[in-house]
Amino acid sequence: MELTVLVDNHTLIDRYFLGEPGLSLFIQEDGRRILLDVGYSEIFILNAQKMGLDLRHLDYVVLSHGHLDHTWGLVPLIRLFTEAAIEGVPHHRPIIVGHPEVFQTKRLDSLPEIGSMLDQSKLARHFPLQLSRTPVALSDRLLFLGEIERRFDFEAAEPLGEIVQGDDHQPDLLLDDSALAYKSPHGLVIIVGCAHAGICNTVDYARQVCGEDRVVDIIGGLHLLDPTAERLEKTTAYLAKLGLQGLHACHCTDLRSKIALAQAAPLREVGVGLQLTYPSIS
């Protein structure tokens, strides 16, 4: 599997790409071309073009959850495919994969919408959808986890805004949050968007679903933004026990958390332009 960071809060030094508070990862695995998330704007397309990557030939676009910094790039993605169709440029429309609640309207404080700009019916006019609470195989080795079980009390989710359905407002516990797991010969690679379900919950569930206890790498946002002392301590203790070969914490992981994580695992630099390769055979 090959993974390229198209969008992150940071770019790598001396790499002239665009960054934003968002995430988009391009994955090539077993002949399949996959996006995890599409960031906040069109920069995932612009960065991909600079890297020589043609996003008009994708097999899947996986949405880790419905927040704006992971889904608002769907509008420029639609424009990319619409213009390709108008101009007769070869293209292949990907399947959109996510949790069934990923397109809910989400509101936070005075912000009227922090969820997807597009509802399910509108997006379905442009791409086929595969929405599932249960795991979905994207290849023999790459798995969309579906709804993640929440097992650890210290990662018990506090609501982040609310879900709005007509006049009904409910606390948003981010049940739509999911992730990918890649089954390498040496252990799992866990690929997350924001890990709102909790990174320990996510890793634990992936180990169960994949029938593999070994974890070699984690990449993505860990949603450790001013975490409580208890949560940070127990998270670092859990990750330390995994014996990771790498920890690519980015996007929504603050500096204090990265400093603590660096004591528990080999923390690696992440930014737009980073390319990682994981073996498919021993």
Q: What DSSP character marks residue 147?
A: S
The pLDDT tens digits of the residues spanning 24-80 come to 999 999 999 999 999 999 999 999 999 999 999 999 999 999 999 999 999 999 999
Supply angle C-alpha 220, 37, 112, rounded to 5: 105
Supply angle C-alpha 250, 251, 256, rounded to 5: 65
Tokens of 179: 């992730």
pTM above threshold 0.75: yes
Please say if the pLDDT value at position 282 is more than 80: no
Helix, strand, coil share (%) of the chain residues, nearest 5: 25, 30, 50
259 CB contacts (<8 Å, ≥6 apart)?
none
pLDDT of residue 156: 75
Domain assignment present for residue 171? The answer is yes
Q: Give the whole-angstrom CA distance, residue 214 versus residue 77.
A: 36
**What is the domain-level CATH number for residue 157?**
3.60.15.10
Domain assignment present for residue 138? The answer is yes
Domain assignment present for residue 186? The answer is yes
Residue 237 structural domain: 2-276
The pLDDT tens digits of the residues spanning 175-221 come to 999 999 999 999 999 999 999 999 999 999 999 999 999 999 999 99
Cα dihedral angle (165, 168, 169, 170), rounded to 10 degrees? -90
Domain assignment present for residue 125? The answer is yes
Our count of domains for the chain comes to 1
